[in-house]
């Protein structure tokens, strides 16, 4: 009998799967991705719009939902007091952060990748006449769908890191929503030259690059964008790890 | 074995535990006593590494708890504050803890049975009563079959049957050679099971003693037909005789002499005695005296 990395991951999976809120939040995330993708596919058309971009237009809201999933998993331990049992069992603490991130990230990648494909298939079925359909084999389509799953998986990890860092669900969700949704809007208020320089590097803009078939002018290359977003996640994780080691539980 | 060595904990500029040292040894139940806010729960959190001491150190079975490869086997703990997610079932909670250490599912069922929680094992913990929550906490503490069991006010919320269960459980664990540390602010409860007492007040060690040593003879209650004669006979230096005013003035309270000495003296003069009863300070009083002094000492500084 001893602590093993695999054991801590198994424990985190047990915690993840034994809460109703987990399943609800996961289901809502997938639903938002698919439903908004289909609605947009059926309704919108215009120059430069591709079927894939339309199918993935639910990704902004899905990101918020999947981020909340990560937050609840982590901050929920603090708000309920469960963290004391968790750290009494794993007093080194960091394995808990890594395992929680792994479980939330992997679950989100699996479900949201499936969701992205479902949104694509559903969107294709209801696609309006103003947009030409594309196939999975067409350039960039597979990358965009797989990239959507990876991006949303990383958002779940970001939620875990924020939850462990600020230890309050409301606080972490506010930071998450602010970082993903509000910051890009605020950047638009800056002088044009500055905005153009920093906008591509903002978290949600960088992360979405990977799932955009027709990138705009001020957008990073797909994998570069995802790497930048992964950088944000890594920094937040490092901050959470630092606080975990330094302060009382 | 738990060794607390010169441990100090400050929150801001408030010193909650002040250079506290004591040892809880295997094979005995150590009662950890002190009034509200004495720092008992804080000390226990430092023992499991949830809070870090400002200075000093704590060893569990000779090492720092966090460095153990199987912490749940070293020490099982029930903390004062709730440490379980209300949305999970008892089984899922214990299973999650067990999996960190590769503890088999059968052990989870075992501790659920031990705590009498089989019927509610699949219910959400949020729906548990206070006592059921305590039982789950105790089940969790026993999960790793630990060498040290540390419980913060375990009987809190338990019914009489539950209190008896905890008492027998702890006595059994100590008899198996385990170290048992339990906190309380009720001396009467602790004195029934503890061999060794560690008493704290305002974060400081007030006494590291045994139940037997703490109970000191206080005086003798005497009921006699001739209170004035007896008073004249035994009165002297170091002896106080006071009338309690009860029983038409026939009851006296004597300190400084044993019941035997009073009885023999009365016999030499043929003074009839109806009652001759040594009165021990109750443990509760001894405890209160001890902690009251600490508060005065603290205030005088
Ligand atoms: N995290 C914290 N931050 C600030 N003060 C704290 C913290 N935890 C405990 N305290 C303070 O430390 C003191 C000791 O608290 P503690 O809970 O250890 O006492 P206790 O002996 O367990 O009391 P009780 O018998 O009421 O359970 C209290 O004054 C409490 O307010
Ligand atoms: Mg306490």
Picking from B85, B95, B98, the nearest residue to A80 by CB comes out as B85
Mutate to test the pocket of ligand 1, among B8, B10, B11 (most ligand atoms within 8 A of CB): B11
B102 touches chain A (CB under 8 A): yes
* Contact with chain A for residue B96, Cβ under 8 A: yes
Give A237's pLDDT tier (boundaries 50, 70, 90): very high
Q: How far from each other are the two terminal CA atoms of chain B, in whole angstroms?
A: 34
B34 CB near ligand 1 (under 6 Å): yes
Structural domain includes residue B286: no
Q: Domain for residue B292, yes or no?
A: no
User: What's the pLDDT at B293?
Assistant: 63
Q: Tell me the residue range of the domain where A106 lies.
A: 5-246
Atom in ligand 1 nearest the alpha carbon of residue B153: 27
- B52 close to ligand 1 (CB < 6 Angstrom): no
B293 in a domain, yes or no?
Answer: no
B167 lines ligand 1 (CB under 6 A): no
Q: Is B70 on the interface with A (CB under 8 A)?
A: yes
**Ligand 1 atom at minimum distance from B34 CA:** 21
B14, B42, B80, B295: residue to mutate for ligand 1 pocket, most atoms within 8 A of CB: B42
Residues B158 and B276 in one domain: no
Q: What is the pLDDT of residue B113?
A: 96
The answer to which of A157-161, A170-174, A203-207, B137-141 has the lowest mean pLDDT is A203-207
Q: How far is B61 from chain A (nearest CA, A)?
A: 15
Same-domain status, B266 and B194: no
A192's CB contacts (< 8 A; 6+ apart) are: none
In chain B, the largest separation of any two C-alpha atoms, in whole Å, equals 78
* pLDDT given for residue B50 in this prediction: 96
Residue scoring higher pLDDT (A22 or B256):
A22
Q: What is the CATH number of the domain that holds B276?
A: 3.30.70
* A–B CB contacts, 8 A cutoff, strictly below: 106
For residue A8, what pLDDT is reported?
Answer: 98
Q: Is B25 within the bounds of a domain?
A: yes
CA distance A152 to chain B (A): 25
Q: Which of A3, A15, A80 sits opposite B69 (nearest CB)?
A: A3
Interface predicted TM-score (ipTM) of this complex, two decimals: 0.92
Q: How close A167 gets to chain B, by Cα (Å)?
A: 15
pLDDT 10s per residue in chain B (301 long)? 999 999 999 999 999 999 999 999 999 999 999 988 999 999 999 999 999 999 999 999 999 999 999 999 999 999 988 899 999 999 999 999 999 999 999 999 999 999 999 999 999 999 999 999 999 999 999 999 999 999 999 988 899 999 999 999 999 999 999 999 999 888 888 888 898 999 999 999 998 988 777 766 578 889 998 988 998 888 888 888 888 777 788 888 888 888 888 999 999 989 999 999 887 766 777 777 777 766 544 544 4
Tell me the range of A185-194, A233-242, B233-242 where mean pLDDT is highest: A233-242
For residue B10, being part of any structural domain is answered with yes
Query: Does A4 contact B71 at a Cβ distance shorter than 8 Å?
Result: no
Two structure tokens written together for A126: 């209801």
B287 belongs to a structural domain = no
Tens of pLDDT, residue by residue over A133-148, are 888 888 889 999 999 9
Contact B92 A18 (CB under 8 A): yes
Minimum-distance ligand 1 atom for the alpha carbon of B11? 4
- Nearest CA to B121 out of B101, B140, B136 is that of B136
Q: What angle is formed at CA A192 by the lines to CA A186 and CA A196, rounded to 5 degrees?
A: 80
**pLDDT band of A218, cuts 50, 70, 90:** confident
Between CA B213 and CA B223, with CA B217 as vertex, the angle to 5 degrees is 160
The answer to whether the CB of B36 is under 6 A from ligand 1 is: yes
Overall number of domains in chain A? 1
Q: Does B299 touch chain A (CB under 8 A)?
A: no
Residue A11, number of CB atoms within 10 A of its CB: 27
Nearest to A76 by CA among A178, A179, A175, A172: A172
Q: Which ligand is nearest to the CA of B38?
A: 1
B142 lies in the same domain as B257: no
What total number of domains does chain B contain?
Answer: 2
Selected residues 258-287 of chain B with any CB under 8 Å from a CB in chain A: none
Q: Is B213 part of a structural domain of the chain?
A: no
Burial B127-147 (b: 16+ CB within 10 A, else e): ebeebbbbbbbbbbbbbbebb
Per-residue model confidence (pLDDT) at position A46: 76
Q: In whole angstroms, what is the distance from residue A55 CA to residue A41 CA?
A: 6
Which structure tokens are listed for B86? 């209300």
What is the pLDDT, as a whole number, of residue A93? 97
Do B177 and B267 fall within a single domain?
no
**Any idea what the Cα angle at residue B177 is, between residues B171 and B179, rounded to 5°?**
75
Please name the member of A80, A83, A91 whose beta carbon is closest to the beta carbon of B49.
A91
> Which of A17, A91, A244 to probe the B interface (max B CBs under 10 A)?
A91
DSSP track, A184-225: HHHHTTS-HHHHHHHGGGSHHHHHHGGG-SS--TT---HHHH
Residues of chain B found within 8 Å of residue A10, distances taken between Cβ atoms: 99-100
- Residues B123 and B243 both lie in one domain: no
Q: Could you tell me which chain A residue has the CA closest to the CA of B98? A: A11
pLDDT per residue as tens digits for the range A91-147: 999 999 999 999 999 999 999 999 999 999 999 999 888 888 888 888 889 999 999
Report pLDDT for B164.
Answer: 93
CATH of the domain at B57: 3.40.50.300
Question: Is residue B298 a part of any domain in this protein?
Answer: no
Please enumerate residues of A whose Cβ is less than 8 A from a Cβ of B.
1-4, 7-8, 10-12, 14-15, 18-21, 76-77, 80-85, 87-92, 248-249
The rounded Å distance from CA A164 to ligand 2 centre is 26
Strand partners, B224: B273
Q: Does residue A168 carry a pLDDT above 60?
A: yes
The residue range of the domain holding B247 is 218-280
B108 and B100 Cβ atoms separated by less than 8 Å: no
* Among A14, A203, A13, CA closest to A110: A13
- Do residues B26 and B162 share a domain? yes
A15 secondary structure, DSSP code: H
pLDDT of residue B295: 56
CB of B119 within 6 A of ligand 1: the answer is no
Is A21 close to B87, i.e. CB distance below 8 A?
A: yes
Which of B208, B242, B265 is a domain's end point?
B208
Q: Which residues pair with B10 in a beta bridge?
A: B15
Same domain (yes/no): B120, B259: no
How far is the alpha carbon of A90 from chain B, nearest alpha carbon, in Å?
Answer: 7
Do B122 and B244 lie in one domain? The reply is no
- Phi/psi for B78 (5° steps) reads -115, 120
Residues B204 and B237 in one domain: no
Q: Which residue among A84, A89, A249 sits closest to B72, beta carbon to beta carbon?
A: A89
């Amino acid at each position: 009998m001893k602590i093993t990395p695999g054991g801590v991951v198994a424990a985190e999976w047990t915690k993840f799967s034994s809460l109703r809120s987990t399943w609800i939040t996961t289901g809502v995330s997938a639903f938002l991705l698919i439903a908004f993708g289909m609605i947009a596919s059926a309704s919108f058309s215009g120059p430069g719009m591709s079927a894939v971009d339309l199918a993935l237009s639910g990704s902004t809201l899905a990101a918020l939902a999947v981020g909340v999933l990560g937050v609840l998993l982590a901050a929920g331990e603090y708000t309920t007091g469960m963290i004391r049992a968790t750290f009494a069992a794993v007093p080194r603490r960091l394995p808990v952060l890594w395992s929680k991130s792994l479980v939330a990230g992997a679950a989100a990648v699996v479900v949201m990748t499936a969701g992205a494909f479902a949104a694509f298939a559903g969107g294709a079925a209801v696609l309006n006449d103003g947009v030409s359909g594309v196939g999975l084999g067409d350039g960039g389509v597979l990358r965009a769908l797989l990239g959507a799953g990876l991006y949303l998986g990383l958002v779940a990890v970001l939620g875990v890191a924020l939850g462990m860092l600020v230890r309050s669900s409301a606080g972490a969700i506010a930071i998450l929503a602010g970082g993903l949704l509000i910051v890009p809007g605020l950047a638009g208020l800056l002088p044009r030259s500055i905005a153009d320089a920093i906008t591509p590097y903002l978290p949600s803009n960088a992360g979405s690059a990977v799932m955009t078939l027709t990138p705009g002018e001020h957008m990073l290359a797909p994998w570069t964008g995802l790497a930048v977003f992964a950088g944000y996640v890594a920094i937040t994780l490092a901050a959470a790890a630092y606080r975990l080691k330094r302060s009382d539980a | 074995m738990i060794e607390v060595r010169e441990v100090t904990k400050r929150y801001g500029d408030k010193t909650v535990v002040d250079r506290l040292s004591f040892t809880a040894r295997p094979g005995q139940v150590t009662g950890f006593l002190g009034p509200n806010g004495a720092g008992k729960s804080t000390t226990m959190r430092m023992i499991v590494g949830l809070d870090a001491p400002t200075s000093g150190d704590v060893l569990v079975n000779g090492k720092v708890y966090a460095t153990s490869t199987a912490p749940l086997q070293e020490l099982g703990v029930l903390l004062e504050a709730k440490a379980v997610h209300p949305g999970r079932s008892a089984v899922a909670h214990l299973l999650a803890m067990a999996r960190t250490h590769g503890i088999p599912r059968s052990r989870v069922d075992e501790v659920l049975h031990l705590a009498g929680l089989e019927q509610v094992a699949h219910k959400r913990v949020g729906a548990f009563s206070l006592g059921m929550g305590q039982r789950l906490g105790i089940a969790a503490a026993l999960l790793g079959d630990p060498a040290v069991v540390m419980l913060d006010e375990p009987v809190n919320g338990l019914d009489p049957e539950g209190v008896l269960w905890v008492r027998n459980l702890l006595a059994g664990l100590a008899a198996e050679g385990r170290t048992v540390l339990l906190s309380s602010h009720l001396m009467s409860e602790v004195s029934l099971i503890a061999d060794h007492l560690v008493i704290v007040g305002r974060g400081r060690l007030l006494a590291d003693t045994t139940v037997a040593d703490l109970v000191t003879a206080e005086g003798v209650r005497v009921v006699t037909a001739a209170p004035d004669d007896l008073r004249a006979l035994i009165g002297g230096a170091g002896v106080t005789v006071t009338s309690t005013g009860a029983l038409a003035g026939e009851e006296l309270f004597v300190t400084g002499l044993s019941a035997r000495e009073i009885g023999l003296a009365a016999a030499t003069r043929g003074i009839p005695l109806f009652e001759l009863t040594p009165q021990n300070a109750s443990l509760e009083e001894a405890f209160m005296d001890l902690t009251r002094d600490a508060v005065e000492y603290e205030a005088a500084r």
